[in-house]
Amino acid sequence: MLRSRSLPLHMGLLCLPLLLPACGAENPGGSSDTASDSDSVDSETGADTSNPATTEATSQTSAGPSGSQGETDSSSTDGSSSTTDDSASDTDTDTDTETTGDPGPIYDGDPLPEAPPGEWNWVDFPEAKCIDGTKTGIGVRYGLSDKVVIFFEGGGGCFNDATCGLFYASFAHFDELVFDVIWQNTILQGGIFSTNNSDNPVRDWNFIYVPYCTGDVHAGDSPDTFVPGYLVDEPQQFVGYRNFGHFLQRIVPTFEDTSHVLVTGISAGGFGAAFNYDRVADAFGEAKVSLIDDSGPPLTDPWLVPCMQTAWRELYNLDMTLPQDCEGCFADDGGGIYNLAHFLAEKHHDQSLGLITAERDVIIRTFFGYGIQNEGGEHCPDGIFELPMNGGYFEEGIYALRDELGNSDVWGSYIMGGITHTYLSFPDYYLKQVNGIRLVDWVRNHLEGNTSHVSP
């Protein structure tokens, strides 16, 4: 149900994708996202802890069409179909090899079912679970190219009573019905998903849509986990990372001959894209694998404080899902997650990694505000409820992160003024520009391997 563009802060926090144009398009802080005379452009040229041991059965064994790599627009349709893998196992306790230094997982599941290009289809994965234990799956749309976009959806998180209550209000369940009724003919037709906008550099690519219903930024491998202080005394299924391991079992065989994979997502899905990038790049070892994290900035420890990181590590089991050879990711005080950016740049030095963010993104400020409010403030204070981090302090953190990323030619960034949140799924993908450089053109250049840092 669509609501007013003027949202209460708690709905802004959740940023339900149907409402994202409302919580992302307006700028009540009055800052401009366009270029000013003083703008500048600085141009620069992990592991699966589930590793499903069983292979899911399906009646179809061939993938969708790969077609040519030309610039032909693919046409979208309103139809959809669904495939249910009834004989798939419901195993959740498989072991991981990527994170122990042993040979990585073998992705040998059945290819995804065939379908006409341009048509969204839902594929059930009975072993994949939402936070409430219900089953979920993925959306699939074949294109006219051999290239693939893997898109991680966003939508909040669950790590205390307030955030879990809000998450359950909107995101705790995602199945075929939700996909068909709400997503496929609305959100999944615009922005980066558009097949008929000639400005879109991925309009004819294949798409994998990874819904978000686990509350763990797609990074958890922690089933049956209780959230301290949450009034609902029931175990939660923080299994987003594990779910994606199941999805990869079939995604990789379907697109084993791809020349380019874009791993991307918005908000929680931006974090998820970064957390899962290493395993995707390893799985498609011969292909180009690009990363674009939209509005999931992994700020350094003064802003994403170690006590917050510790809470997430313990709830989501991040110490098992982060790449084990990322030594800087495991600081003694619980911090260091931002070092994943350095690890990815060093390991995947021939790829293109990118971040999109606003200088004072009010949604991310609200989440990080549970850890610290102002420079020198108390860490993880009690009694905080949706109180955003100070905007000026957050902006300092954004540019501190940009300076960290700027040490590598592998990373690029696109930073906008203002407080808005998420862009790739919406008209802002085509409309936003900084210093005369449109966001969509930055994305195109990034996919071509031309990384750059753009900011006001």
Band (64; pLDDT cuts 50, 70, 90): low
Q: For the chain, what is the mean pLDDT?
A: 83
Band (384; pLDDT cuts 50, 70, 90): confident
Q: What is the pTM of this model?
A: 0.81
Measured distance CA(10)–CA(410) in Å, rounded? 36
What whole-number percentage of the chain has pLDDT above 70? 77
Tell me the pLDDT tens digit for each residue of 157-175: 999 999 999 999 888 999 9
Phi-psi region for residue 336, left (φ > 0), alpha (ψ -120 to 50) or beta? Answer: left
Quick one: average pLDDT of 384-409? 94
Q: Give the position of tokens 């763990």.
A: 216
Give the closest residue to 52 by CA, choosing from 268, 227, 253.
Answer: 253
- Residue 11 backbone phi and psi in degrees, to 5: -75, -30
The predicted structure's pLDDT at residue 102: 54
- State the Cα torsion 447-114-190-45 to the nearest 10°: 0
The predicted structure's pLDDT at residue 386: 84
Measured distance CA(187)–CA(191) in Å, rounded? 8
The predicted structure's pLDDT at residue 382: 86
Measured distance CA(203)–CA(184) in Å, rounded? 16
